[in-house]
Chain A
Amino acid sequence: MIPRVLSIGWASCVCATILTAQAVSFVRDVKPILSDKCFVCHGPDASTREANLRLDGRATAARVLDGNEPELVRRIDATDGDERMPPPRSHMELTEREREILRTWVREGARYAKHWSFVPVPSSVPVPAATVGESASTWARSSIDHFVLRAMRDHDLEPSVESERWRWLRRVTFDLIGLPPTLGEVRAFEADESDGAYERVVDRLLASPHYGEHRAVAWLDVARYADSYGYQSDLLMPTWPYRDLVVRAFNDGVPWDRFVRDQIAGDLAEQPTRDQRLATAFQRLHRMTNEGGSIPLEMRTEYVADRVRTFGTAFLGLTLECARCHDHKFDPISQREYYALSGFFNSIDEHGLYHDSSRVPTPSLLLPNERQEARLAELEIAMHDARSKLREAIAAASARVPVNLTDSDADRMRESALHERLAGWYRLDAIDAGKLANEVEGRKPGSTAPGNRLVDGKQGKALEFSGDDVASFPEVCGALRQSEPFTIAFWYRYAGQRDRAILLHRTSGTDVGFFGTELEIDRGRLRFSMQRHAPGNAMSVVTKEVLPKGEWMHVAIANDGSHGASALRIHVGGRLASTALRDTLFKNPGAGGSGFDFGQRFRDVGPTGDAVDEVRAYERALAPIEIAVLAETFDEGAKDRAAWTPWFVERDTAVIAAREALVMAGKAAFDHRTGFREISVMQETATPEATYVLARGAYDAPRDESTLVSRSTPACLPPLDEEGVTNRASLARWLTNPDHPLFARVTVNRLWQEFFGRGLVATADDFGSQGALPSHPDLLDWLARDFVTSGYDIKRLCRQIVLSSTYRQSSRAPTSVCERDPDNLWLARYPARRLTAEQLRDAALACSGLLDRSMGGPPVSPYQPKGLWRESNSMSPAYHQSVGTALYRRSLYSVWKRTAPLPNMLVFDAAHRESCVVKRGETSTPLQALVLLGDVQFVEAARVFAQRLLEGRDDDEFVRAAFLTVSSRPPSASEHERLVRLMRAQHAQFVEDEASANDLLHVGDAPAPAPADGDAPRVAAATMVAQVLFNLDAGTWKR
């Protein structure tokens, strides 16, 4: 709400002069009224347009603006409810001042102008010269100051005095590294009278690795970065490598245009580096669900919408999401344009749901460390060698294959086909108490649920599936892993009642994601897959021919254990029938259990009416000719040496050994790779996904020729001038074109907001019609142009801001100034602000000496009240509080669970991170007092702070040193006296109640002082003083 109040406040400041001294400005005065009060019915959205009247353009509005008695004026002045505009039912009203502006505007010719933020940033912006030569011009140190000073003078304001050195040091230290200055830093700076003292401080801070940590926080709000998926069960999501990338990028001073191009399309760079691909995780940080029953397409539609919204808010400062269901009500963005833009973001091969934290949704990026990478290289070479050796062994063995097949060979072949390593043979001729007999001695029988029934089969009876009932065949073929060669052969009668059905599987998981090995039938084609997270982390082979319905066909699936889609085969009617569909399995699927199930899977479509007979399970890969034997297509008379060669070859001891070696080498590589960190990233599909205008934003809206759109950018912005197929890389180049009207403005505005609490455009997330106008338009443009020409250098921009006289002003100003500019729009004083959630906690830790300054890595779990994660969410993992120094890491590294965020952060307006946020709230609630006074984290910090500072200091000295450490200034005499008084009184009380003192000194995991010191009451009293200091305005606000 604040932004709105501000823009109105500003308008009211200037209104007196608008109507008298200067012409009405369309952009500044008229457009905000039309937009807010009229556009809902007379704006860009055709679906809600009344009277076929559009007021957002001169031509379409002409009929109510022109003439002797323009209708617009008549209607806004009408008293009759039917005539009056806006109509009473809209609950909108024009103030007299607004009506006067509209009247004047119409009288002066009703001139329109392009919306200010769509006008290109000028190639150069002159710095105001008006202030030069005037007495106060010595105040201005930088170009920024000249702009600010002119605006002040325009409003009869003068700058405040320069603030004390310690205040500036405190501000700049918090603003650049997020921590308070140390005592030593305060003293050193106070003492440094030499030229360049300020600049040296800034250089020191910009070079600090903590700079990147602090700067990252605001970006992580924008990126809706969190450590959990968000919806429903809200499991943890392994995203932290992205967070560390952001910190690194800020510290390395990566030019912002490059940074952003990588966020949008790093994967599409030429030979992208790992970091470039990692940067695109930005677009996969949206919430994801694993709620049972969710519809993948519906969720994918939401994710794409989130990407578009984030792109709009973060880079364009536009509320694009308003155009998802209908044309934008206020800005010239049609629903069609919205979807045309969304077409850049939907072309990744993603499933839409996740299953659990260990199965990273694809497309994804593996993030091995150096050691893992080196080991993988070894294993891959070993696998390659094993493959070569197998090839050589096969070649050698092939030479020994007889030219003619003897009868005894044929018998042996038949014998092996029927019996060798046969683990299950289920004839399916009878169901005995639910059991399906296994003809293989010593092996378990199968079983079936009652719904499946016996029907006439290929041989005797067969088992027909209801679609809802399972038939299980346990303890054969291991768990159908890729390193476990197997063959499952059976007669199959396809009914074709369901479009797609699961026929056979050894998978775990639920409808949100199955993982393991499976055989599906999809419109008559068989698909044999092994997968960890479909579709990206999977391999599949598929048959080409459509199975006939109602006929008995012989089907066999085989895996030879050589890893990769080439290891998988489907035989139909005794002939190899499959080709590779996908070969991108890179981790172990990780299904549990053993054997396989036929006919049904939890919440999946079953093969209703399909039947199987004579199921045979082998714990080896049968040679094709053996499968022909089973399929009754083996022709003994045929003299096809090539057909029986594989059978002979696979019985060669050298081949057997070489194949075993390859299986093991592959397993070693997969096992190793399965341990790698992995993160979801963007990876463009080979051909762009078709994109449709979705009526009302609904995922199941009609998708046809009439709703089909092709990728493009909104017409109100410069065109995307590229030939051929455009993609996210084109979009990234378009966005970071030096003349883009929004990108640089939005960026510098957000950074300005970080330092001054409010952007030059107060609505940092809305540069559209309904957003606030820039308070200092020229300064915004100058900053934007300067930022672009300086190579998008964020550190340079920070430096310019913090060294400016504007930033150096005192926050105290005469009451007259405060009354004239209550919202401090004209910056005639420094805008004081409370520290952020992260800064408050980090400052307490820094003061106490507890702060662990190590950087990066997996999130840590600081103190929080017990039970919060699971008390209302039994599906959530439990919270495991960190131990040791990990309790004292910077807040940036604290685990962020979207549905149960850390309460001591949330209460100080930390963003929820459920969606893109560019500005946090600034609230004041009693819960904040409860946290700072009662949270273990802060009590412990106060205690350790007291313990540390008491050493070798008397009460007077302690209070002085503690005050100075927390607030960066010495206490006044009265402050000092008051705190010493508190300390002594508390000391006396704790002496009387030493048990309480001891209780207090054991708050938190940090060691309490040794009891031998015998001074528990004094430490406890000092802890109370420290707590007061941590709660002081002087300790919690930046002034």
Chain B
Amino acid sequence: MKRRTFLQSVLASGVASAAKGMGTTVRASAATDGAGTHWPAKCKRVIYLFQSGAPSQIDLFDPKPGLRALHGKELPANVRAGQRLTGMSANQASLPIAASPFEFSQHGESGAWISELLPSTAKIADRLCIVRSMFTEAINHDPAITFFQTGSAIAGRPSFGSWISHALGTDNPDLPSFLVLVSAGQGGQPLYARLWGSGFLDARHQGVQLRAGASPVLYLVNPPGVSRRTRRAMLDALSDLEKEQLEREHDARIASRMAQYELAYRMQESVPALTDVTSEPDSTFELYGEDAHKPGTFAANCLLARRFAEAGVRFVQLYHQGWDNHGDLPRAIAAQAKETDRASAALILDLERRGLLDDTLVVWGGEFGRTTYSQGKITKDDFGRDHHPRCFSIWLAGGGVRAGTTYGRTDDYSYNIVDESGAVLRPTKDVFTKGAVHVHDLQATLLALLGIDHERLSVLHQGRRFRLTDVHGHVVRDLMS
């Protein structure tokens, strides 16, 4: 083959196909190249509002009015039934029951019970599917959140968003398919890149964290003194030189690399345009609240999430830290709720009025629940709650979700999951127990809504087929419309 024809063939046939012949599988950046769906999808994208630190179900979604009478009394041993506690409260001489100081009432046609801490969420009750019977195995934050986000407590597996990106590809060639937003300045339990890492999947499926401020993506802005025009001139020169190099070296990966430079150049414009909310009408800020003007707040991030969804980003992962209320719970949880309630509800309403809620899946929740007993002493207006993996609450909304339902029940203490008759269930991840939802069950269900069979979404790595749901997980049909 003559040089000229090689170059032409590479450029004409598209990078991917030519590169294949060169030794390394290079995928074109723009194509929707995922593994695809296994059945018709109910929704196309996900916005995951992760509440890091583990919100207290007893004070938000799982009312236990009967505990008022038992406030300060010892938790009966048969309720705990030998379950392990963390080293933070395991040594307490006393495990006194702490009733929620917050009022609950029923909302919407569905009559969902929601705490007074979440007035805006209460208003969208009929759009939610509240799950009160989530359970997990991990009891400490790091393993628990890693498990929730990657399907394994072992570091290094692909995250949920990366699996989705891998399976479904992107709808917008100018943007990463998986974006991550973390509320700024929250403190609380640490978050880390492994939670949105792509593990053994292609690095293109890695979550790209957007940061508040001038450079939403690391290294996105030109260095001081370099204008966009200068950057263009450099890229033009680079491109000319690389064409010559391509002819010299006969390696289509050179062309693929050039395509990445062009995508980076486009991202320099597309990402700031997307994160610039100045063009949003007043009505937007009326909906999300004034906080949405402040970059880095949960409200601002919810608004960005809607903009990304609109722009075709496959998976938007938000994190809001600060729910780890080991002490000072009554004050702290009220502040957390205030920071998140309005914007969470606004996001649902905004998606709905733009016609996006039908094919967007929204998830709200943390990595485990909190104990019914107080960690440390109960005083007049202060107590805390330790980690509790046996039951906790989350909510889902959007495409394919059975809206206006509350699924699952817990015992009178919000300590154990129970069945319809009130009998205590001891669910495990191995066998599906109706009424209980393991983390892998939730993952399987979310994948099912996206048109993916969690048993078939697997990747061979180190001789083993890995899945998000490991060898577990059952689709919970009752959560689906």
Q: B residues 169-186 with Cβ under 8 Å of A?
A: 182, 184, 186
Q: Which residues of B contact A231 (CB under 8 A)?
A: 142
Instruction: Tell me which of B84, B204, B248, B261 contacts A929 (CB under 8 A).
Output: B261
Known: A832-B253, A933-B223, A1031-B261. 20 other contacts (CB 8 A): A2-B24, A234-B192, A295-B87, A319-B462, A330-B463, A451-B377, A468-B377, A763-B462, A771-B463, A814-B1, A815-B1, A815-B6, A872-B191, A874-B190, A912-B156, A930-B267, A934-B223, A979-B237, A999-B225, A1033-B245
Q: Is the CB of B249 within 8 A of A1039?
A: yes
Question: Which B-chain residue is minimally distant from A872 (CB atoms)?
Answer: B191
Q: Given A766-B462, A824-B23, decide whether A930 and B219 contact each other with a Cβ distance below 8 A.
A: yes
Cβ-based interface call for A178 (8 A): no
A498 to B244, CA, bound (A): 79
> Residue among A930, A998, A999, A1020 with the most chain B CB within 10 A?
A930
The contact string, 1 if C-beta is below 8 Å from chain A, for chain B 61-78, is 000000000000000000
Cβ-based interface call for A91 (8 A): yes
Cβ-based interface call for A459 (8 A): no
The contact string, 1 if C-beta is below 8 Å from chain A, for chain B 204-247, is 10001001000101111111111101110110011011101100
The distance from the CB of A629 to the nearest CB of chain B, in whole angstroms, is: 35
Question: Which A-chain residue is minimally distant from B268 (CB atoms)?
Answer: A930
Q: Given A921-B203, A924-B26, decide whether A294 and B464 contact each other with a Cβ distance below 8 A.
A: no
Of A542-550, A564-572, A897-905, A949-957, which stretch is located at the interface? A897-905
The distance from the CB of A67 to the nearest CB of chain B, in whole angstroms, is: 32
The distance from the CB of A271 to the nearest CB of chain B, in whole angstroms, is: 38
Instruction: Tell me which of A232, A872, A979 contacts B141 (CB under 8 A).
Output: A232
A983 to B440, CA, bound (A): 57
The distance from the CB of A434 to the nearest CB of chain B, in whole angstroms, is: 15
The contact string, 1 if C-beta is below 8 Å from chain B, for chain A 218-233, is 0000000000001111
Q: Is the CB of A912 within 8 A of B155?
A: yes
Q: Which residues of B contact A872 (CB under 8 A)?
A: 182, 190-192, 319, 321
The distance from the CB of A50 to the nearest CB of chain B, in whole angstroms, is: 15
Cβ-based interface call for A855 (8 A): no
Instruction: Tell me which of A765, A909, A933 contacts B203 (CB under 8 A).
Output: A909
Q: Which residues of A contact B221 (CB under 8 A)?
A: 934
Question: Which B-chain residue is minimally distant from A865 (CB atoms)?
Answer: B218
Q: Given A4-B460, A1033-B254, A1033-B257, decide whether A232 and B25 contact each other with a Cβ distance below 8 A.
A: no
Q: Is the CB of A768 within 8 A of B463?
A: yes
Cβ-based interface call for A17 (8 A): no
Instruction: Tell me which of A287, A606, A906, A993 contacts B93 (CB under 8 A).
Output: A606
Cβ-based interface call for B88 (8 A): yes
A974 to B319, CA, bound (A): 51
Q: Which residues of B contact A900 (CB under 8 A)?
A: 192-193
Cβ-based interface call for B263 (8 A): yes
Q: Which residues of A contact B284 (CB under 8 A)?
A: none
Q: Which residues of A contact B245 (CB under 8 A)?
A: 1032-1034
The distance from the CB of A45 to the nearest CB of chain B, in whole angstroms, is: 12
Q: Which residues of A contact B91 (CB under 8 A)?
A: 511, 603-606
The contact string, 1 if C-beta is below 8 Å from chain B, for chain A 912-931, is 10110000011111111111
Cβ-based interface call for A881 (8 A): no
A985 to B142, CA, bound (A): 53
Q: Which residues of A contact B434 (CB under 8 A)?
A: none
The contact string, 1 if C-beta is below 8 Å from chain B, for chain A 308-327, is 00000000000100100000
Q: Which residues of A contact B217 (CB under 8 A)?
A: 927, 930
Q: Is the CB of A811 within 8 A of B464?
A: no
Instruction: Tell me which of B86, B219, B238 contacts A1028 (CB under 8 A).
Output: B238
Q: Which residues of B contact A875 (CB under 8 A)?
A: 190
Cβ-based interface call for A972 (8 A): yes
A995 to B462, CA, bound (A): 54
Instruction: Tell me which of A899, A989, A995, A1031 contacts B192 (CB under 8 A).
Output: A899
Cβ-based interface call for B328 (8 A): no
The distance from the CB of B176 to the nearest CB of chain A, in whole angstroms, is: 8
Q: Which residues of B contact A985 (CB under 8 A)?
A: 233
Q: Which residues of B contact A123 (CB under 8 A)?
A: none
Q: Given A2-B25, A934-B222, decide whether A914 and B230 contact each other with a Cβ distance below 8 A.
A: no
> Residue among B92, B190, B220, B242 with the most chain A CB within 10 A?
B190
Q: Is the CB of A979 within 8 A of B225?
A: no
The distance from the CB of B291 to the nearest CB of chain A, in whole angstroms, is: 19
Q: Is the CB of A467 within 8 A of B93?
A: yes
A-B contact pairs, 15 of them (CB 8 A): A234-B190, A234-B192, A293-B88, A293-B386, A319-B463, A330-B464, A818-B23, A819-B21, A871-B184, A872-B191, A899-B192, A924-B256, A933-B219, A933-B264, A1000-B224
Q: Is the CB of A934 within 8 A of B220?
A: yes
A928 to B215, CA, bound (A): 16
Cβ-based interface call for B336 (8 A): no
The distance from the CB of B288 to the nearest CB of chain A, in whole angstroms, is: 22
Q: Which residues of B contact A522 (CB under 8 A)?
A: none
Question: Which B-chain residue is minimally distant from A928 (CB atoms)?
Answer: B260
Instruction: Tell me which of A287, A766, A935, A981 contacts B155 (CB under 8 A).
Output: A287
Q: Which residues of B contact A230 (CB under 8 A)?
A: 155
A444 to B462, CA, bound (A): 66
A998 to B224, CA, bound (A): 9
A388 to B227, CA, bound (A): 77
The contact string, 1 if C-beta is below 8 Å from chain B, for chain A 345-385, is 00000000000000000000000000000000000000000
The distance from the CB of A708 to the nearest CB of chain B, in whole angstroms, is: 23
A982 to B237, CA, bound (A): 7
Q: Is the CB of A929 within 8 A of B264?
A: yes
Q: A residues 993-1039 with Cβ under 8 Å of B?
A: 993, 995-1003, 1020, 1024, 1027-1028, 1031-1034, 1039
Cβ-based interface call for B456 (8 A): yes
Q: Which residues of B contact A832 (CB under 8 A)?
A: 249, 251, 253
Q: Is the CB of A818 within 8 A of B193?
A: no
A329 to B460, CA, bound (A): 14
Q: B residues 422-481 with Cβ under 8 Å of A?
A: 455-456, 458-464
Cβ-based interface call for B111 (8 A): no
Q: Given A822-B21, A926-B263, decide whether A91 and B456 contact each other with a Cβ distance below 8 A.
A: yes
The distance from the CB of B356 to the nearest CB of chain A, in whole angstroms, is: 26
Question: Which B-chain residue is minimally distant from A989 (CB atoms)?
Answer: B230
The distance from the CB of B160 to the nearest CB of chain A, in whole angstroms, is: 18
Instruction: Tell me which of A232, A823, A904, A1034 contacts B142 (CB under 8 A).
Output: A232
Q: Which residues of A contact B94 (CB under 8 A)?
A: 466-468
Q: Which residues of A contact B21 (CB under 8 A)?
A: 815, 818-819, 822
A291 to B190, CA, bound (A): 10
A289 to B460, CA, bound (A): 30
A604 to B267, CA, bound (A): 53
Q: Which residues of A contact B211 (CB under 8 A)?
A: 871
Cβ-based interface call for B331 (8 A): no
The contact string, 1 if C-beta is below 8 Å from chain B, for chain A 751-793, is 0000000000001011011110000000000000000000000
Q: B residues 46-82 with Cβ under 8 Å of A?
A: none
Cβ-based interface call for A582 (8 A): no
> Residue among A872, A909, A1020 with the most chain B CB within 10 A?
A872
A874 to B183, CA, bound (A): 13
Instruction: Tell me which of B23, B154, B225, B463 contacts A1001 (CB under 8 A).
Output: B225
> Residue among A822, A907, A934 with the most chain B CB within 10 A?
A934
Q: Is the CB of A466 within 8 A of B93?
A: yes
Q: Which residues of A contact B455 (CB under 8 A)?
A: 91
Q: A residues 255-304 with Cβ under 8 Å of B?
A: 287, 289, 291-295
Q: Is the CB of A939 within 8 A of B87?
A: no
Cβ-based interface call for B189 (8 A): yes
Cβ-based interface call for B20 (8 A): yes
Q: Which residues of A contact B230 (CB under 8 A)?
A: 986, 989, 1024
Q: Which residues of B contact A1027 (CB under 8 A)?
A: 234
Cβ-based interface call for A831 (8 A): yes
A771 to B234, CA, bound (A): 44
Q: Is the CB of B234 within 8 A of A925?
A: no
Cβ-based interface call for A812 (8 A): yes
A350 to B308, CA, bound (A): 48
